Amino acid sequence: MTAAPSPRTRARRLHHKAAYDRATIDAILDAMPVAHVGYILEGAPVVTPTLQWRTGDRIFWHGSSASRMQKTATGAPVCVTVTLTDAMVLARSGLEHSVNYRSVMVFGTAVEVTGAAAKTAALKAMMDRMFPGRWESLRPMTAQELKATRILSLPLTEASAKIGAGMPTDPPEDLSWPVWAGVLPIRFAMGDPISAPGVDLAVPPHAAAYRFGHPAQ
Ligand SMILES: Cc1cc2nc3c(=O)[nH]c(=O)nc-3n(C[C@H](O)[C@H](O)[C@H](O)COP(=O)(O)OP(=O)(O)OC[C@H]3O[C@@H](n4cnc5c(N)ncnc54)[C@H](O)[C@@H]3O)c2cc1C
């Protein structure tokens, strides 16, 4: 369980914005499914965007068994990041402009989820986290589909959060400078559901209720 930073996760730059407690880390991971997985491919860094989900003390992501990301990251050191942007921060000087954000970095060795039962449970957990109840209504997964899917996971033992919030932090001597300053809040908004061609069914509650990128509390 992450509570104190490791040498690798201890924030040096603006360290007062960092947090290492699981409640803060979990809230960010659960609010934003989009993640970036960083790994080394043929000697050079690659960062691949994908979806992550958390179950208990681990995060998971999946992809084609043939995916270079999935093949390369299996058993390898990775760094997974998750970011929510909450506002653009406009200050009186260019230097003080910033972004209000909530982000997480998780370090570790990616472990492959193996075995049909464990893989199925992980994929169901992914669906349950996004669309509770949908898994049970789907055409069951085939053995070939399961085989073609590689799921990787990372424990949350070495993770950090960093949160930027509030108004611009202009120094006192800049406060009277005659330019507008403040924050431009950023909100993710879901549009109305659009049924696929040929679908004559009501939008299920798990679809209508879906919210992407939860706002900061
Ligand atoms: C949307 C967004 C925009 C940003 N814009 C800028 C920018 O323009 N310029 C800039 O310098 N920085 C920006 N940051 C902050 C940036 O992520 C780094 O925190 C910062 O650059 C310090 O980097 P460093 O390598 O010196 O970190 P260090 O303090 O040396 O990092 C040490 C450890 O602290 C933890 N850590 C550091 N940053 C984060 C983070 N963001 N989230 C979670 N854990 C973290 C990690 O575990 C890391 O290994 C932005 C962040 C976000 C999310």
List the chain domain ranges: 15-167+196-208
Best mutation site among 6, 100, 103, 107 for ligand 1 pocket (most ligand atoms within 8 Å of CB): 103
- Under CATH, domain 15-167+196-208 is a member of which superfamily? Electron Transport, Fmn-binding Protein; Chain A (2.30.110.10)
pTM here is: 0.95
Residue nearest to atom 18 of ligand 1 (CA): 13
Q: Which residues line ligand 1 (CB under 6 A)?
A: 8-9, 11-13, 83, 85, 99, 101, 103-105, 160-162
Walking along the chain (217 residues) 10 residues at a time, the average pLDDT comes out as 82 91 97 97 97 98 96 98 98 98 98 98 96 97 97 98 98 98 95 97 96 82
CA separation for the pair 206, 204 (Å, rounded): 5
In terms of Cβ atoms closer than 10 Å to its own Cβ (0-12, 13-18, 19+), residue 87 is buried
CA separation for the pair 19, 136 (Å, rounded): 37
Going from the C-alpha of 199 to that of each of 105, 139, 189, the distances in angstroms are 40, 15, 24
3-state SS assignment for residue 212 = coil
pLDDT of residue 4: 87
